[in-house]
Amino acid sequence: MDYILNGDCDYIVAEGSAILTTEDVLNAIHWANDALISINSATREFDINVFDTLGMRNLSGMVGEVFGKSVKYHSGGRLEGNLHQDGYPDLLLVDTEDKLAYYHSLYRVEGDKKYPYNKRDFSPFRYGGIEVKATCGSTPTATETTPKPLIGEQRFQIVNAFDWKAHHRDTNNLLGVLWDFIDGVPTIVACFFRNDLTVDDWGRIVQPREGGGRTTSVSIMNSGGVSKMCRGWVAVINDPVYTSKLSARKWIGIDVSR
């Protein structure tokens, strides 16, 4: 896959540190896409479509996890994964000896596993870091003549909105990716980053309903936050299906291929 990089964005800067170059991000995108292709091939050997098995609700989480691990791998040791599943942020900043020593003090090792001593040290992590989230956007309500795209079908031609979700309105330093199915496999088609998100970029927190409904609280990024993220585009796949549509005023606002 060929991608267009934002020439005005050389580094991903968070907590006052230049953590990643745009080339690092591009390498992470390629690595994540390759991993998803491999996962698809390996499970197909057993007549399993793992993406069907997960369903759309879980696929974005999987894409985000794969991309997050790829970003960590390509960070040159400047980022470590959050050891608590509900911790914040996803990738922890350990770009100095002091920060790394502090991180190592927060867990014990048994075999090849790291066991955190408690959650509070990881939510939030003292030195911050980068949050990673993925979305595939939303499509119009299905009708008899226009059904919803099936899992594995390219969908961006009819995507009418996209956003990212968080458990609180303080989420910042967000590396957000947009993905779609290409040749039946989830593929990252665009990446965005902002280090200046505020609570005003997120909607009110929706709490779980008593007796059922949502299992966790969630805040959905509003249109202003999405526009802000899009202005911080890092990479877009070099395909007119995406470059043309993302040029909409409510998104990037320019055709990045020109």
DSSP letters for 51-72: HHHH-HHHHHHHHHHHHHHHHH
Work out the number of other CB atoms within 10 angstroms of the CB of residue 37.
16
Q: What is the pLDDT of residue 142?
A: 82
Q: How far apart are CA 233 and CA 72, in angstroms?
A: 20
Q: Note the pLDDT of residue 228.
A: 97
Q: Report DSSP state, residue 206.
A: B
Backbone angles phi and psi of 24, in degrees to 5: -60, -45
- Residues 121/125/131/132 CA torsion (nearest 10 deg): -50
Do 171 and 130 meet the contact criterion of CB atoms below 8 Å apart? no
Q: What is the pLDDT of residue 147?
A: 87
Phi, psi angles (nearest 5°) of residue 52: -60, -40
The C-alpha torsion from 154 through 158 and 161 to 162, rounded to 10°, is: 0
pTM, to two decimals: 0.94
| Tens place of pLDDT per residue across the chain (258 aa) | 899 999 999 999 999 999 999 999 999 999 999 999 999 999 999 999 999 999 998 999 999 999 999 999 999 999 999 999 889 999 999 999 999 999 999 999 999 999 999 999 999 999 999 999 999 999 998 887 788 999 999 999 999 999 999 999 999 999 999 999 999 999 999 999 999 999 999 999 988 766 555 457 899 999 999 999 999 999 999 999 999 999 999 999 999 998
Choose among 96, 67, 97, 72: nearest CA to 82: 72
Phi, psi angle pair for 59, to nearest 5°: -65, -40
Q: What is the pLDDT of residue 211?
A: 58
Residue 168 DSSP class? S
Q: Which residue has the tokens 């939303």?
A: 138
Token representation of residue 43: 């499970």
- Pairing relation of β-strands 219-220 and 165-166? antiparallel
